[in-house]
Chain A
Amino acid sequence: MRRRAALRARTRRQPLRTVTPALLLLWLVVPLTPLVLWAGASRWSGTAGLPQDLGLRAWQEALDAGMIAALARSGLLGVAVALIATPLGVMAGRALGWRLLRRPALPSVVLLGPVVLAPFAVAMGLDVVILRLGIPGELAVVLVLSVFALPYTTFTMRATYLALDPALEEQARVLGASSRQARRRVTLPAATTGLVTATGLAFLVGWSDYAVTLLIGGGQIVTAPMLIGSSAAGSGNDSLTSTLAISASLPPLVALAVFTYAASRRRTAAHS
């Protein structure tokens, strides 16, 4: 009796299980379709439903525009930002998540602050200060973007620590681990998923920025978003712009897929 009810419930849930991912996929794929079509089109006029001429000319143009070097610079910038913002986010997230602070309101606001700021506004206010201080543009870009990334890492880690029991670490201490060992060997492994998400978010802040990289970096680091932005500014470049946009989306998507796969394997390994 009970088994039959469970079975019925499962069959009822079945369509939902396929419909939800399908809808999610649509949500992702539909806006990307014209982008992909444009990247393979050499001519597509407004009245036609599909491109008239297919070709990879846009990819050649993207290579000529320095796409590979720009992607490499974006990648380096993303990694540098993630390297700074993630450890700081772990510390802040731990303090906020485990309520280690007596008055968490002010630190929360300060850490959250950069999320609500428009990078352009900040870049325009900060560029003069940074120029006066004589901080090299490349370093300044990494520092400023790390500040922008900090809220994402902090709040991801805060949520992660909220879900973790501080008793876990205490237990390790009781069993003789130093506080450092307890953090490294017990808490951090338990927080891996959050840590990966936080790192990914911080990376994306560096990877996708236009205003700070240009205005504070003084044009010395030409990244992928700068190529996309300048190409998109002139119309008639739709196939080049789409190609650049796709090349800039692929690396993070691939990284996401790899992480997700690795995480699911870890989970199944843990279960078996």
Chain B
Amino acid sequence: MRPRLARLLPAALLGLAASACAAPGAPAGSTTENRSWSQITDQAKGQTVDLWMYGGDQQGNAYVDDVLTPAAAKLGVTLRRVPVADTKDAMTRILAERQAGKEDGTVDLVWVNGDNFATGKQADAWRCGWSSKLPNMTFVAPDDALVIQDFGTDVAGCEAPWHKAQFTMVYDSARVDTPPTSMAGVLQWAQDHPGRFTYPAPPDFTGSVFLREVLYSTSGGYAKIPSQFDQGAYDKLTPQLWDVLKGVAPSLWRQGRTYPRDSVALDRLYADGEVDMTMTYGPATLTKLVSDGTFPATTRVLPLEEGTIGNASFLAIPSSAGDPEGAMVVANLALSPEQQAIKADPDTWGQFTVLDTDLLSPSDRARFDDLPTSAVVPPYDVLSRNADPELASSWVPRLDEGWRKAALGSGS
């Protein structure tokens, strides 16, 4: 039904029309917030905040609809979730609003991190200087590397942290007798046990971070890799990465001729016993997967000596947002110990908090202590021991593309 062919004459005409109108002075992206918090909460009352977020995560949707939205309503703010297939759709709309000089745009808040945040920052499309002044930021450790930088881009008050993720390898202890202890060991194990291991194909989020983990491993640690993209370093470091991945490919599931399309597809292979290991950015979900019988009860987390990559995702307010005060109130609410604790419960969403529980009041700290402990997943501070930082977002597409050229199709 939907025609999708080349863009022809009318598209060219539209393009002309669009470029013919000169861009008027758009609202500046870097505004400093001089109002007091009570002024902001007063102005927020009655506002409707449109939160644009990736809609493919059912638990995330349910958390926002059933927990965050009612809590925002109590503060006089209507929260409306706009589900998108890809955060890039939100970026497209924001950049259009910015280009048109809108100040009452329809995107008020975005669940974002990495590349999309960097793109918006380059285009001066984020409202900045606000997140560091949120009252609940006092519970975030000021020197927390995951919160100061987002994939190598300074956060600079342009987004409020929402939750943390920690890359984690997972294995079935009934099938893996001597679990490896390093990424090199994992790849060696894969070669020793043909057909029992695979990873999602980058640019899937999880497949892509696995690729970076292997790069850290083949390069001798993340410290050897410049955090901002560097062509010289890429040319020097990646040949060994591709060699290792091409070497292991014939031993992968289906001889490396094909890869799972994303981490859920890999999880399904693991659940069906087709492979013995899986991997995830959200290890807190494992508890539920084991308890509902999707994953075997013998599922365990595989700690790596060299540590694994951790990152955080954020809530950002576009400079064109029509209801920025409401958006700030929602971002602050989402950062509250209560919301962070509810969200961290695997039965709700299972996302690690960005708060430093040492900074909390005893009663708030108890919320986190009371979270169900898991026989499968160690607590976050154990998981994130030796946590490695992410590379700059500019590395990510280059590595994904390099993998497609070098490693894909190299299976036998």
Contacts and interface: CB of A to CB of B under 8 A. Distances in A.
Interface of A: 45-47, 61, 64-65, 109-110, 113-122, 124-129, 131-132, 137, 148, 204-205, 208-210, 214-215, 218-220, 222, 226-227, 229-237, 240
A209 B54 contact: no
16 contacts: A45-B272, A46-B268, A65-B83, A109-B9, A114-B10, A119-B4, A122-B11, A124-B96, A128-B96, A128-B99, A229-B84, A232-B56, A234-B54, A234-B57, A235-B261, A235-B262
B58 A218 contact: no
A131 B102 contact: yes
Interface string B52-73: 1011111001100100000000
B96 A113 contact: no
Interface in B93-115: 93, 96-97, 99-102, 105-107
Contact of A129 (B21, B83, B267): B21
Interface of B: 1-11, 14-15, 17-18, 21, 50, 52, 54-58, 61-62, 65, 82-86, 89, 92-93, 96-97, 99-102, 105-107, 261-262, 264-265, 267-269, 271-272, 274
A125 B89 CA distance: 14
Contact of B106 (A137, A235, A237, A240): A137
A117 B65 CA distance: 36
A219 B82 contact: yes
Given A230-B83, A236-B264, 13 more contacts: A117-B7, A117-B8, A120-B4, A127-B92, A129-B21, A137-B106, A208-B1, A230-B55, A230-B84, A230-B85, A232-B56, A234-B54, A235-B265
B35 to A, nearest CB: 26
A242 to B, nearest CB: 14
Contacts of A222: 82-83
B153 to A, nearest CB: 24
Given A118-B7, A128-B96, A218 B89 contact: no
Contact of B96 (A114, A127, A208, A229): A127
A231 B107 contact: no
Contacts of B97: 131, 218
Contacts of B96: 124, 127-128, 131, 215
Nearest to B51: A219
A209 B57 CA distance: 22
A120 B86 CA distance: 13
A127 B272 CA distance: 46
Contacts of B89: 214-215
A218 B105 contact: yes
A116 B8 contact: yes
B3 A232 contact: no
Nearest to A121: B7
Contacts of A121: 7, 11
A118 B265 CA distance: 30
A243 to B, nearest CB: 12
Contact of B85 (A122, A137, A219, A233): A233
Given A46-B268, A64-B62, A219-B106, A113 B10 contact: yes
A129 B262 contact: no
The 4 closest A-B pairs by CB, nearest first: A234-B56, A230-B55, A218-B106, A131-B100
Best-buried of A110, A210, A218 by chain B (most CB within 10 Å): A218
Contact of A113 (B8, B18, B100, B261): B8
A209 B2 CA distance: 8
Given A235-B261, A236-B264, A128 B3 contact: no
Contacts of B105: 218
A179 B4 CA distance: 40
Nearest to B268: A46
Best-buried of A61, A124, A230, A232 by chain B (most CB within 10 Å): A230
Nearest to B322: A218
A123 to B, nearest CB: 8
A35 to B, nearest CB: 17
Best-buried of B1, B50, B85 by chain A (most CB within 10 Å): B85
Contacts of B56: 230-235, 237
A218 B93 contact: yes
Nearest to B93: A215
A129 B272 contact: no
Contacts of A214: 84, 89, 93
Given A117-B10, A219-B52, A129 B17 contact: yes
Nearest to A217: B106
Contacts of A129: 14, 17-18, 21
Best-buried of B9, B93, B269 by chain A (most CB within 10 Å): B93
Nearest to A220: B106
A67 B85 CA distance: 16
Contacts of B8: 113, 116-117
Best-buried of A109, A116, A125, A220 by chain B (most CB within 10 Å): A125
A210 B85 CA distance: 10
Contacts of B65: 64
A144 to B, nearest CB: 10
Contacts of A65: 61, 83
A131 B4 CA distance: 24
A235 B96 CA distance: 29
Nearest to A236: B264
A129 B269 CA distance: 47
Nearest to B15: A125
A204 B15 CA distance: 27
B313 to A, nearest CB: 15
A204 B1 contact: yes
A205 B1 contact: yes
